[in-house]
Structure 1
Amino acid sequence: MIELSRGLNPHESALAEPVVPGEPPFELLRGSPSYINVLDALGAWEAVRALRGHTGTAACASFKHTSPAGIALGVPFAPGEEAFHDVGALPAGALGRAVLRARHTAPKCSYGDFVAVSEPVSLAEAHLFADAIGVIAPDFAPDALAELSRFHQGRFIVLRGNPAGPPRAGSAAARETVETGGLRLTRRAAPLPGFAGGVRTEYGTPGRANDLAVAVTAVRHAQSNAMAFVVDGATIGIGMGQQNRLDCTRLAAARARTWQRRRHPDVLGLRFRDGVGPAERAVWRARLAEGDLTPSVRAAFARVLADPKDAGREPDWSATPPLSGVTLAADNHFPFVEVVELAARLGVTHLVTPGGSTDADALREACATHGMSWVVTGERFFRH
């Protein structure tokens, strides 16, 4: 049993104990996790293990408030993407690339996040977690563990994940139980059936297997409704938790557009004052890329720049590098052709849904009009 630092809120207490005695999902090596930290760690750990198993490539997931902020594979950087890393040498290994790519999906969200990785952490990767709140991994080199233990004045959380994986179907540990409002709700959490490798290509071509794997993993582990934009083995925009799929799509699209604008030369070329760290620089670049800075935010922006006058200059967004070859996945069907039209603006070439559509003919026609493929996986997955 682990006494957690807090419940959902600071005034609440919480405990964590394994359902099967002696078989915890992780070992606490350092720090004192909260209730939400544990939920984030478990969700992210499940995501990277699944993704590693499906692709054979190092994977990273950045979780915040029980949903992924970014998920990525450790494949080579896409053109221009390496510019997001503006301090020190680029990570040489696949794990370092996965961490950098996942945590740069949405810097405002991956700030104080919980990070999971599929591979053991060495000293070479330790600095990439400095502004996270904790990390879960299969193991840690001794010098990496010592380095991680220094972060946040020794409060950084380090968990060694159980390599046994998720509970077996039918076991007590495979059931999810919640007590609320005077009821005990129990759900039999059956294992996901296979993997969405393109059960059926409804229209067009199957697309790239790695992008499909990342996109499906992202929407499986995000709060429903969920939509995820993916390119080159990494998420670039995730929308979740909305009561309708159209709002969810717009949220994901807005984040993908911000990711795209962060590659604008004027955004990458911002010069900051000494002492402004890499995480803070990434957040300010994202704020500029989002646009619509209020007067108080613009004034704060000016204070962190080497030349405060740069805060008043709006980039010519028409010079933003275009997106292409993007995959967009949903945790359920697309109810609106409007989703296809929104996706087309962001270079989407493949739509991925668990099943058909309430108006499959109209969706197929829209895909044909915009040059998109439509892949149906046969798996619906809501998460709450």
Structure 2
Amino acid sequence: MSQPSLQPVRRALLSVSDKTGLIELGRALVAQGAELLSTGGSAKALRDAGLPVTEVSDHTGFPEILDGRVKTLVPHIHGGILGRRDLPAHVAQMEEHKIAPIDLVAVNLYPFEATVASGAGDEDCIENIDIGGPALIRAAAKNHPHVTILTDPAQYDSVIDALKAGGTTLEARRALAGAAYARTAAYDAAIATWFAQKRGDLLPERFTLAGQRREELRYGENPHQKAAFYTDGSTRPGVATARQIQGKALSYNNLNDTDAAFEAVAEFTDPAVVIVKHANPCGVATANSLSSAWDHALRCDPVSAFGGIVALNGTLDEETAKKIATIFTEVIVAPDATNAAKAVLAAKKNLRLLLTGELPDPTAGGVIVRSLAGGFLAQTRDNGRVEESSLKVVTKRAPTPAELRDLMFAFRVAKHVKSNAIVYAKDGATVGIGAGQMSRVDSARIAVSKSAEAARACGQSEPLTRGSVAASDAFFPFADGLETLVEAGATAVIQPGGSIRDDEVIAAADKAGIAMVFTGMRHFRH
């Protein structure tokens, strides 16, 4: 089959919701001698700009009906788009039925995604489901050997340049066709997701996922891996919605770690700071000010904090900014920052400052997706929260009010530490964190080792875990894990419970004279 390569445009259909660049495109087409067909608001905009335009209803001889729901779904339009110019039978049929070829189609769709994001009612959302637009796009993309399809104003300039040179190439039309199908796929995915959410089905039989590439990254986790950052249209505050105030582009690892840090700091209402390294918190604290919270978070593991990510749950002030600036920090993320704080950080050219405007809701729902060979896993977000009223005291001694506050804090931190997770805390700050070990005992011991290093750094002879409380993200399968916490100096423990050896673990706690509470909820994080 012979296929034309350089395709001039003799007739174009322009029907766009987003009219950015429409007039410039129309002028370029008219300058090349093309006839313009259009509908509704697009036709009016072109006409108001002084461009000759034929209404689709005049071209087809069939009026728009059903409040505009049917205007382009007619043979004179789709025949003109789908007819193959290289097949004599197609050409003959088009001539027989007086169907004029359409060489370029520019369509962008009703703003369904934006309508949903605005909180509009069901009727408005449904009315913004485009029918004719996707049909036009898919038809033009299918016949890309002969038709140029435009679905985004960002594509106009290159096509305008091509028209001036005589027409679009087959290679360009094929690329535009691929982009067109990606757009309709994402559009349909958004609609399918909305319907699933309306019926409360977050994990439907057919799971649709679509994203818009925000930027290509220099590389992925490692330099030999390619990577890109995609947004999914969600309005959840975080790295995708943040304004970058300063610093170089974020890397794959920066983005991943920043998301982890910001989600963790959003757990707390008092002024809080979270320092993350390799997606794990290495220091977390709450206090009466962000400056004080920073001091206590840093004390937990000052070595790991070097080159880390810092998240705050309030407006970054000058005093706190000065403290953070004393060590090498990759990223600071916060809802806002004072001008004085921005001025302090401006001297750190490589430090990225991200401002989100608000915090994510840790209790909100949503779905998290992870790829596997041959498929992917999807689960709802871990928005579980343990309240004091749901705790079950299982030892002879109940925790003191101070211990209880620290237990709640430590368990909330453990939710954001990779399993197996052990968190020691005292006075609203972490004093030891063990993460990602195959054995829970090893996590407990690593946390103590880190705590001892931190103690030496601040001139103390004993680990900071002395007199602390401890949290475990899941139950202790044996008493040895609990005994390790006791050896480290923990006076109270919070854990989910549920082991077949709970009685042994409780007995070990009673023998040591410590308090222990069960949450009934675990927080595995793999």
Fold match (TM-score > 0.5): yes
Match of 1:188 in 2: 380
Instruction: Output the CA distance in 2 between the equivalents of 1:7 and 1:364.
Output: 45
Alpha carbons of structure 1 residues 30 and 350: separation in structure 2 relative to 1, 3 Å: same
| Equivalent position to 2:455, from 260, 265, 270 | 260
| Equivalent position to 2:517, from 372, 375, 378 | 375
Structure 1: stretches of 5+ with no match in the other structure = 76-93, 266-316
Query: What's the TM-score, normalizing by structure 1?
Result: 0.73
Match of 2:267 in 1: 50
* AA matched with 1:229: Y
Match of 1:348 in 2: 490
Aligned residues of 2:313 and 2:359 also touching (Cα < 8 A): no
**Residue aligned with 1:342, SS:** helix
| Equivalent position to 1:332, from 458, 470, 474 | 474
Give the deviation of 1:188 after TM superposition.
2.1
* AA matched with 1:67: N
Aligned residues of 1:226 and 1:241 also touching (Cα < 8 A): yes
The one-character-per-residue Cα deviations of 1:245-274 (angstroms, maximum 9, x if unpaired) are 121121112222333344446xxxxxxxxx
Q: Is the counterpart of residue 228 in structure 1 residue 423 in structure 2?
A: yes
Instruction: Output the CA distance in 2 between the equivalents of 1:226 and 1:189.
Output: 18
Which structure would you say has the larger RCO, counting Cα contacts within 8 Å and 6 or more residues apart? 1
Match of 1:306 in 2: none
**Residue aligned with 1:150, SS:** coil
Aligned residues of 1:257 and 1:346 also touching (Cα < 8 A): no
| Segment of structure 1 superposing worse, 26-35 or 229-238 | 26-35
The one-character-per-residue Cα deviations of 1:188-231 (angstroms, maximum 9, x if unpaired) are 22521454666111112134343123311221101111001111
**Residue aligned with 1:206, SS:** coil
Aligned residues of 1:133 and 1:157 also touching (Cα < 8 A): yes
Q: Is the counterpart of residue 18 in structure 1 residue 231 in structure 2?
A: yes
Q: Is the counterpart of residue 199 in structure 1 residue 416 in structure 2?
A: no
The one-character-per-residue Cα deviations of 1:320-373 (angstroms, maximum 9, x if unpaired) are 488643111000001222223222222211011012333122222211211100
Instruction: Output the CA distance in 2 between the equivalents of 1:99 and 1:4.
Output: 30
Largest Rg, 1 or 2: 2
**Residue aligned with 2:444, SS:** helix
Give the deviation of 1:119 after TM superposition.
1.2
Instruction: Output the CA distance in 1 between the equivalents of 2:283 and 2:464.
Output: 21
Alpha carbons of structure 1 residues 97 and 8: separation in structure 2 relative to 1, 3 Å: same
* AA matched with 2:268: L
Residues 255-334 of structure 1 aligned to structure 2 (within 5 Å): 255-264=450-459, 320=462, 324-334=466-476
* AA matched with 2:231: P
* AA matched with 1:155: N
Match of 1:38 in 2: 255
Match of 1:9 in 2: 222
Instruction: Output the CA distance in 2 between the equivalents of 1:168 and 1:223.
Output: 20
Instruction: Output the CA distance in 1 between the equivalents of 2:381 and 2:262.
Output: 16
Match of 1:146 in 2: 343
Among all aligned residue pairs of Structure 1 and Structure 2, give the percentage whose two residues are the same amino acid. Answer: 29
Q: Is the counterpart of residue 61 in structure 1 residue 277 in structure 2?
A: no
Give the deviation of 1:16 after TM superposition.
2.2
Match of 2:244 in 1: 28
Instruction: Output the CA distance in 2 between the equivalents of 1:167 and 1:102.
Output: 20
Give the deviation of 1:138 after TM superposition.
0.9
Match of 2:406 in 1: 211
The one-character-per-residue Cα deviations of 1:168-205 (angstroms, maximum 9, x if unpaired) are 855xxx21112242322222225214546661111121
**Residue aligned with 1:115, SS:** strand
Give the deviation of 1:238 after TM superposition.
0.6
Aligned residues of 2:275 and 2:311 also touching (Cα < 8 A): yes
